[in-house]
Amino acid sequence: MSGKQTITSGLASLGIEFGSTRIKAVLVDRKCNPIALGTYEWENKLENGLWTYSEEDIKTGLRECYGSLREDVFERYGVEIETLASIGISAMMHGYLAFDKDGKLLVPFRTWRNTNTAEAASKLSALFDFNIPLRWSISHLYQAILNKEEHVSSIASINTLAGFVHTLLTSEKVLGVGDASGMLPVEGLSYRSDMIEKFSSLDEVKGRFDWSLEEILPRILSAGSPAGRLTEEGAALLDDSGKLRPGVPFCPPEGDAGTGMVATNAVRVRTGNVSAGTSSFSMIVLEKPLSRPYEMIDMVTTPDGAPVAMVHCNNCTSELNAWVGLFREFASLYTDKEADVNRIYSLLYNNSIEKGDADCGGLVSYNYLSGEPVTGFAQGRPLFVKSATDSFSLANFFRCQLYASVAVLKYGNDILFGAEGVKVDRITAHGGLFKTRGVGQRVLSAAMSSPISVMETASEGGAWGIAVLAAYMLDGQGLSLADYLDSKVFADAKVETLCASGEEIRGFEEYMRNYNACLAVERAAVENKA
């Protein structure tokens, strides 16, 4: 069936993902092949000391992204989208959205990027004997309680961004198990009852509010479960042209970590993936629980509930992109014409690998635009460090920027592969860092001392991943998610695997020794900034 026939017959599945800098929509056919795309660029704002996107930004972004998809469909096929087989919503994980009984947002969305929850996360980690990261919803809720914020007494429900958008479109307060496991730890398809009991017994919580934690959390669903249908109000919000009819079924909303696992076929035990864009994270599906909690490692789940060890880093490519932008500006000034940004990326990246030293010549860079909890920084400041004896060249400079983008990721994974002896059969990477063929892949391989695979489809990212989950809900035919992906989606996938050389691995280790030695310089820069 052609793309046009798929769309006019209402057999296409739609995935929409709210990323940090871009909202993306991917329309897929019955074999999960992308047939149309839509995008909308947006940026978070720092307001009253907290990173946020406004409610209007969220709604506008949803509408504009879908409008971009409609335009792409009409340009490619000359038809309009009137109905769909299924829809899925994904978004950057965790953070905090709190609502009153009428569904009104009580405070601006607090994103994963905020690091103001250190006190709450530390106390909860000790209380639960379980690592509770700063960005998790329960940390934000408890911090608001500790801060005696007025809105807490009016809470009727809390959710993640993916869950919020799903509710706007379906009126259902549900969440996929992968995203839910970053609100509060889960067991099966339920939030951990022992943790709910411990939280409810806290002096700051017990008897102080009309709500209970269990009541305000969204209901948990596994991949493949139906999660509501597009309402008339939802259809009007999504498609301001009025062409899209209500009634389309939805799969459970998921976080970008879960959709990244799907997009890289990494939901089976002993598989893993790395997503590297504005932030970065690695996900390893475990054979057995870790021996103890680690502050650097988050325990979440796949979209079908398997345990996953996650290393999440707040910063990845933003500082790298800023330096590329600076050199693009110079290239445009020098040639007196607008330089092609993709060409600039290719030149700088490839030159860094071809001519740079494996240890970056002693140069060190920190890409901390915001705080970086893994290395103990509540706030950040981008920093480049060199000494008079270092080998300062363009190749080494950009190589150290590339290394910096995955340096923090290495900390947690060294624990998994070293202290815990975790075994992995395949690690697959996706995200903006890997757009220049072979370069980001080689750098990540050196950092993780492991072969790294990149799939042809991985460039579509989490929006494609949630579209696949939407299709799985309809076409799973009793297969597990892992079996569905292997047999129906990735059976003919083109995979390119690359392994760093021994010299490159040793060079990255030397870079990390310099990186660790200069962390005190980064801390001084943070503590003394204006």
Give pLDDT tens digits along the chain (530 positions): 899 999 999 999 999 999 988 999 999 999 999 999 999 999 999 999 999 999 999 999 999 999 999 999 999 999 999 999 999 999 998 899 999 999 999 999 999 889 899 999 999 999 999 999 999 999 999 999 999 999 999 999 999 999 999 999 999 999 999 999 999 999 999 999 999 999 999 999 999 999 999 999 999 999 999 999 999 999 999 999 999 999 999 999 999 989 989 999 999 999 999 988 888 889 999 999 899 999 889 999 999 999 999 998 989 999 999 999 999 999 999 999 999 999 999 999 999 999 999 999 999 999 999 889 889 898 999 999 999 999 999 999 999 999 999 999 999 899 999 999 999 999 999 888 988 999 999 999 999 999 999 987 655 688 999 999 999 999 998 999 999 999 999 998 889 999 999 999 999 999 999 999 999 999 999 999 76
Phi (first) and psi of residue 281, to 5 degrees = -155, 150
In a domain, 395, yes or no: yes
**What pLDDT is recorded for position 456?**
73
Q: How far is CA 232 from CA 235, 236, 244, 393, 467, in A?
A: 5, 6, 10, 59, 21
The answer to whether the predicted template modeling score (pTM) of the entire model surpasses 0.95 is no
Show the domain range for 353.
318-367+374-405+502-527
8 Å CB contact between 498 and 451? yes
In a domain, 442, yes or no: no
In a domain, 354, yes or no: yes
In a domain, 399, yes or no: yes
In a domain, 345, yes or no: yes
How far, in Å, CA of 153 to CA of 148, rounded? 10
Burial class (CB in 10 A: 0-12, 13-18, 19+), 466: buried
**What pLDDT is recorded for position 460?**
65
**What pLDDT is recorded for position 325?**
96
In a domain, 99, yes or no: no
In a domain, 358, yes or no: yes
What six digits make up the tokens of 295? 């502050």
**What pLDDT is recorded for position 115?**
86
- The 3-class secondary structure across 133-199, one letter per residue, is CCCCHHHHHHHHHHCCCHHHHHCCEEECHHHHHHHHHHCCCEEEHHHHCCCCCEECCEECHHHHHHH
Domain count, the chain: 1
In a domain, 417, yes or no: no
